[in-house]
């Protein structure tokens, strides 16, 4: 396996053979349809384009409808490219969760939950000011000084301040596959992964 598109279902926990309770994330991995096979001769690089999750044709642009029809499938919501697989896969093939084996390690990419505009304590982990001395009583969660005095007379680039938090692409490496349920296209991955329930994920070797 080189890669697969999935959807985050939620979190649960399973017991190991030693009796330990292990937190894990449930992912619906596939079924994905091969919508394009890219080669060095035709595209300049080798890749496999997969598509996942049904989408209404009326909400799909005409070029994309034609693109999916070439692969003999209906319109899909999520399309992603992966490095060419070792297996002999051709246009229109369906890839399911059974290409993943229990015990292997995968990398998972997702979009983290958006938090909106947040202060420095939540965004950067500032400790805040302890106590209420010297007459201050409402500045516990403020950032404090932003820079020096007469030089450089400006706020330096990269200063950690309040701002938009979350909603970023995050890749978590080396997550162990605890269990595979091929009949439901479900896999259980150890630990947490970025994103809300129902968000799309890229699963790679």
**Is the residue at 118 inside a domain?**
no
3-state SS class at 17:
coil
Give me the pLDDT at residue 203, please: 95
- Helix or strand holding residue 23 (H, E): strand 21-29
**Is the residue at 13 inside a domain?**
yes
> Domains in the chain: how many in total?
1
Torsion angle in degrees (nearest 10) through CA of 151, 152, 153, 155: -140
Q: pTM for the full model?
A: 0.85
- DSSP class of residue 64 equals H
Residue 88 CB partners (closer than 8 Å, separation 6+): none
**Is the residue at 154 inside a domain?**
no
End-to-end CA distance of the chain: 7
Name residue 9's beta-bridge partners.
Answer: none
Which residue, chain included where needed, has tokens 């994330």?
A: 25
**Is the residue at 41 inside a domain?**
yes
**Is the residue at 147 inside a domain?**
no
Give me the pLDDT at residue 140, please: 82
Q: Does the CA dihedral 6-169-3-74 come out positive or negative?
A: positive
Give me the pLDDT at residue 85, please: 74
Structural domain of residue 197, as residue ranges? 3-113+169-204
**Is the residue at 132 inside a domain?**
no
**Gap between the Cα atoms of 185 and 98, Å rounded:** 7
pLDDT in tens, 85-107: 777 888 989 999 988 999 999 99
**Is the residue at 78 inside a domain?**
yes
**Is the residue at 55 inside a domain?**
yes
pLDDT in tens, 22-62: 999 999 998 999 999 998 899 899 899 999 999 999 999 99
**CATH number for the domain that contains residue 19:** 2.40.30.10
pLDDT in tens, 135-172: 677 778 888 888 888 888 889 999 999 999 999 999 99
């Amino acid at each position: 396996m080189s890669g697969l598109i999935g959807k985050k279902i939620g979190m649960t926990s399973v017991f190991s053979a030693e009796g330990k309770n292990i937190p894990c994330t449930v992912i619906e991995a596939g079924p994905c349809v091969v919508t394009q096979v890219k080669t060095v001769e035709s595209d300049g690089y080798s890749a496999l384009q997969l598509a996942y999750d049904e989408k209404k044709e009326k909400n799909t642009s005409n070029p994309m409808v034609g693109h999916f029809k070439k692969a003999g499938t209906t319109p899909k919501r999520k399309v992603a490219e992966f490095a060419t697989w070792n297996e002999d896969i051709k246009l229109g093939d369906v890839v399911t969760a059974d290409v993943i084996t229990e015990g292997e390690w995968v990398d998972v990419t997702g979009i983290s939950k958006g938090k909106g505009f947040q202060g420095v304590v939540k965004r950067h982990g500032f400790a805040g000011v302890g106590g209420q001395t010297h007459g201050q009583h409402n500045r516990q969660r403020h950032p404090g000084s932003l820079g020096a005095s007469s030089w450089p007379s400006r706020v330096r680039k990269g200063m950690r301040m309040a701002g938009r938090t979350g909603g970023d692409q995050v890749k978590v490496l080396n997550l162990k596959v605890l269990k595979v349920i091929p009949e439901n296209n479900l896999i259980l991955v150890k630990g947490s992964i970025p994103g809300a329930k129902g968000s799309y994920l890229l699963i790679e070797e």
